[in-house]
Amino acid sequence: MNPELQGRVFPPTEPYLVGREKVREFARAVFASNPVNVDPDAARAAGYDDVVAPPTFAVVMQEKTLAQLLAEPDAGIDFSRVVHGDQRFTSSRPIVAGDLLTATLTVSSVKTLGAHSMVTAESSVTDAAGAHVVTAVSTLVVRGEE
Amino acid sequence: MAAASVTVPSFDVLELGDIVAERSFELTRDSLVRYAGASGDFNAIHYRDDVAREVGLPGVLAHGMLTMGLAVQPVVDWVGDPGRVADYQVRFTRPVLVDPDSGAVVSVVAKVGQLDADAHVARIDLTVTFDGQTVLGKAQVRVSLG
């Protein structure tokens, strides 16, 4: 992997409109049965404008930023050798249906450990007003040739 | 973004080591296909045995992000509102193999790991097991309580 990736900041992704049915679909997929996740009336009663996404929903935006990283011509990352090492979401507020979100990827570190490389990618998600919503930090391990 | 209509667990009665939630999840191959569609992660190792074996895996694995996504749900149900999850991190330490016939059972035990009395934030530590072994390391959820 190219060590010069460290510190690189990518262009913001195209704005992503969070749909109510997408939130419900994702909630069902992660076994989230809380009414706030699926029922707009329950969400409104809890003080939200619409259904609330599960805590890991930002992975949908993160996928788009990681696609940018893997497509970077000089990155030298072989996708078939990538293993997800760890993951973190730090939220200022939950994602709610109706949000228009943009994600910006920063490669915060690139390390080599023997034959393996580790890249830590930080996707900062902001709303239409430019306010921070959540930061998704992912460490990918690229296994070396055996 | 406090949920006015939901009873939030009281911070003051919590003690370190308390088990606040427990739940088991039955995963099938259908669960993996559903998660692939919802998340946009269509890596074929999560639905095709031949592709999984080609890359040296014993069989089809659950997406790490599916395990992460479902493991936080018992905590969400305990606090009553996904919006109270301020931070969630895991390390992926072992794969969850999903048998085509019998599926896989993933069990979650959520315990109080740390209490920040000033901020009324509890760190809930998750023990997530499959087939008698833990599959996530350092699985920690920070929740804001009343």
pLDDT value of residue A104:
98
d(CA A30, CA A32): 6
B72 touches chain A (CB under 8 A): yes
d(CA B107, CA B22): 8
Q: Which residue of A has its CA nearest to B52?
A: A80
Residues with pLDDT less than 50, chain B: 1-5
Please name the residues in contact with B102: beta carbons below 8 A apart, sequence gap of 6 or more: none
d(CA A16, CA A59): 12
Is A133 exposed, middle or buried, given 0-12, 13-18 or 19+ CB atoms closer than 10 A? buried
3 state DSSP class of B79 = helix
Cβ-based contacts of A33 with chain B (< 8 Å): 73, 77
pTM metric for this prediction: 0.94
Query: CA A129 from chain center: how many Å?
Result: 19
**ipTM for the complex?**
0.94
Mutation site, A30, A59, A64, A83, interface B, largest B CB count within 10 A: A30
pLDDT value of residue B5:
46
Q: Are B138 and A86 inside 8 Å of each other by CB? A: yes
pLDDT value of residue A14:
95
Beta-bridge partner residues of A84: A140
Spell out the per-residue pLDDT of chain A, length 146, in tens: 788 899 999 999 999 999 999 999 999 999 998 999 999 999 999 999 999 999 999 999 999 999 999 888 888 887 777 889 999 999 999 999 999 999 999 999 999 988 889 999 999 999 999 999 999 999 999 887 65
Chain A positions contacting chain B at CB under 8 Å are 22, 25-26, 28-34, 36-37, 45-48, 52-56, 59-60, 63, 80, 83-91, 93-94
pLDDT value of residue A146:
57
Cβ-based contacts of B41 with chain A (< 8 Å): 59, 63
pLDDT value of residue B6:
57
| Chain B nearest C-alpha distance from A84 (Å) | 7
Cβ-based contacts of A30 with chain B (< 8 Å): 35, 38, 66, 69-70, 73
Please, are residues B110 and B126 in contact by the beta-carbon 8 Å criterion?
A: yes
Tracing tokens 């920690």 back to the chain, one arrives at B140
Q: What digits encode the pLDDT tens for the residues B123-144?
A: 999 999 999 999 999 999 999 9
d(CA B74, CA B70): 8
Q: Are B91 and A86 inside 8 Å of each other by CB? A: yes
Q: Are A25 and B1 inside 8 Å of each other by CB? A: no
